Structure 1
Amino acid sequence: MHDEPASPDAASSMVGRDRRWRLALLDDHEVLLDSLRTWIDANAPDFEVVLCARTWIELVRSPQFPTDIVFLDFQLQEPVSIEARVRTCRAAGAAVVVLTSLDTDDARQRALNAGAAGFVSKAESMPQVMDAARTAMGVALDTVLQHDWRPLPSGAVAPVRPSLSQGEETALRLYASGLSTSQVAERMDVKYETAKTYLRRVREKYARVDRPAGRKSELMRRAAEDGYLR
């Protein structure tokens, strides 16, 4: 993972909230655990790392578990499958983002089928990892997001939902699930520039109905408001 500076939007996700998301980290590499915790503490003020575990048992037996969200390493030297780990966390009420150096279609599908909200390669930058975490919280706690984003008062006119083409909607859903633009292109089996164009058109259509979506945080908000994160 690359320790790039946090995006300017990082702190904005705290607006309207009276606490930070409680985050647990599970990885059997102690150096990586320390690096993750240090970076998040310094650059992601909307998250609080309350638990760092090197083994599955250490995670689930901690009095801090369950947390709001868990970062799980896909490959642990333990006989507990990724499916069992993800499903246990989900059953306990925690959203899950899988971090892995095994970035294959099979690994991704296994994690997502088990209920993980995000699947991120360890080659991605830390801001991208935290973007996936914010998206995961949007999926897992939609009612909280609606509260934070101040629903319209009774009798107010509902915001206009732009009409998206099938390609634009698919690109938005994949991007909102935590994938990068290049990963969206790969999943859609299109060129990178095509995926980039789909997302640009989505932003333009939201701008035309006076619902800005130029920044990633704004686009995630529009996706959640219009049901694309469900």
Structure 2
Amino acid sequence: MSASRPTRVALVDDHAIVEVAFRAALAEVPSVQFLGISPTVHELLVEHPDAELVVLDLRLADGSSPISNVTALREHGMRVIAYTSGEDPYFVRLVARTEVLGIVRKSAPVDVLLETIRSAAAGQALMSTEWAAAIDADPELADAGLSAQEEAVLAMFATGLKTQAVASALGIAVGTVEDYVRRIRSKYARVGRAAPTKIDLYKRAIEDGFLPMPGRE
């Protein structure tokens, strides 16, 4: 994607009036182009197949599964932000464990939504308090069994530090850091918490307490 071209953003929501608010809000974000709204994921894939980032309402009138919707969008290469009223904590907890780049409550200030969209447009996850709360309440996060050194590598690497910087900070070779990252990914995959990308590693680090949750010391 060219750095000069805005990221194409679409909305999945079955309340047409929401489009008016989104269009007005996103007009203030020059890094994105708002394509429009669709009431279902299926219709979005037909109407806006070139969307790069999708803001997805978790509860739609067609009764579709939020997890299936996220999966369908990701299979088409679209990044996803979950947009929720938060009335179903179970759905929010499930979605928090998928490849979404953020979870935003509908009652949140517009600035929070826009910040999340800006981050997602840049391919970065933004850990909101809503997301953190969902993870904190999840009783089913299996322990990956990382060693102390693996935890240290994960905590640094997942924040965005380059491999060389992690190696220098820990006094180890770059190749050793790369070996640690491979082992970390393997251990998470074995317990059903795959972490193939750096964003996934960031989420695993938050989930397991190796990095602080937003809003906490």
Q: Give TM-score scaled by structure 1 length.
A: 0.54
Q: Which residue of 2 is the match for residue 32 of structure 1? A: 18
Conservation of the 8 A alpha-carbon contact between 1:95 and 1:136: yes
CA shift in 2, pair 1:135/1:54, >3 Å: same
Aligned to 2:126: 177
CA distance in 1, matches of 2:33, 2:120: 15
Match runs of 1:4-153 below 5 Å: 17-41=3-27, 43-62=28-47, 64-139=48-123
Cα distance in 1 for partners of 2:162, 2:18 equals: 37
The 1:39–1:83 alpha-carbon spacing in structure 2 relative to 1, beyond 3 Å, is: same
Question: Relative to 1, partners in 2 of residues 1:225 and 1:18: Cα closer, same or farther, differing over 3 Å?
Answer: farther
Any gaps of 5 or more consecutive residues in structure 2? 138-157, 164-197, 201-217
Q: Structure 1: 5+ residue runs without aligned partners?
A: 1-15, 141-175, 190-221
Q: State the Cα deviation string for residues 168-189 of structure 1 (Å, max 9, x = none).
A: xxxxxxxx63314x87588669
> CA shift at 1:136, angstroms?
2.6
Shift in CA distance, 183/51, structure 1 to aligned 2, threshold 3 Å = closer
Tell me the matched-pair count: 145
Question: 1:90 offset after TM fit, Å?
Answer: 0.4
AA aligned opposite 1:67: A
Query: Contact 2:89–2:134 at 8 Å: present in 1 too?
Result: no
Q: SS of the residue aligned with 1:114? A: coil
Structure showing greater relative contact order (alpha-carbon pairs closer than 8 Å, 6 or more residues apart):
1
Q: In structure 1, how many angstroms separate the alpha carbons of the residues matched to 2:4 and 2:106?
A: 31
CA drift at 1:138: 4.2
Residue 194 of structure 2 is matched in structure 1 by none
CA RMSD of superposed structures (Å): 2.9
Quote how far apart the aligned CAs of 1:87 are.
0.4
Query: How far does the alpha carbon of each residue in 1:134-168 deviate from its partner, in whole angstroms, 9 at most, with x for none?
Result: 3334446xxxxxxxxxxxxxxxxxxxxxxxxxxxx
Structure 1 residue 56: deviation in Å?
2.9
Residue in 2 aligned with 1:165?
A: none
- The amino acid across from 1:119 in the alignment is I
Contact between 1:138 and 1:229, CA under 8 Å: does it hold in 2?
no
Structure 1 runs of 4+ with >3 Å offset: 137-140, 182-189, 222-230
Cα distance, 1:225 vs structure 2: 4.7
Structure 2 CA distance, aligned partners of 1:187 and 1:112?
A: 7
Q: 1:139 to 1:223 in 2, by over 3 A?
A: farther
1:24 CA displacement: 0.6
Amino acid at match of 1:178: M
The answer as to whether partners of 2:9 and 2:53 remain within 8 angstroms in 1 is yes
Map of 1:217 onto structure 2 = none
Q: For 1:48 and 1:103, how far apart are their aligned partners in 2?
A: 30
- Aligned partner of 2:170 in structure 1 is none
CA gap 1:103/1:66 in 2 versus in 1, 3 angstroms? farther
- The two structures have a TM-score, normalised by structure 2, of 0.57
State the Cα distance separating 1:50 from its structure 2 match: 1.4
User: Aligned partners of 2:127, 2:13: CA distance in 1, in Å?
Assistant: 20
